[in-house]
Amino acid sequence: MIEIPTQTRIRTAVPSDAESVLAFWRDSAEGTSISDDVDGVKRLLDRDPEALILAVDGDDRIVGSVIAGWDGWRASLYRLAVLPSYRRRGLSKVLLKAAEDRFAALGGRRADAMVLEANERAHHAWGAAGYERQDQWRRWVKPVTG
Buried-exposed string 96-122: b where 16+ CB fall within 10 A, e elsewhere = bbbbbebbeeeebeebebebeeeeeeb
Angle at 12 between CA 41 and CA 129, to 5 degrees: 95
Q: Which of 24-28, 71-75, 76-80, 134-138 has the lowest mean pLDDT?
A: 134-138
Pairing of strands 75-82, 111-113: parallel
Tell whether the model's pLDDT for residue 1 goes beyond 60: no
Residues 6+ apart with CB under 8 A from 14: 45
Residue-wise pLDDT tens digits, 67-101: 999 999 999 999 999 999 999 888 999 999 999 99
Write down the pLDDT at residue 83. Answer: 94
Domains of the chain: 9-128 (3.40.630.30)
Distance from C-alpha of 126 to C-alpha of 121, rounded to nearest angstrom = 9
pLDDT band at 2 (very low <50, low <70, confident <90, very high): low
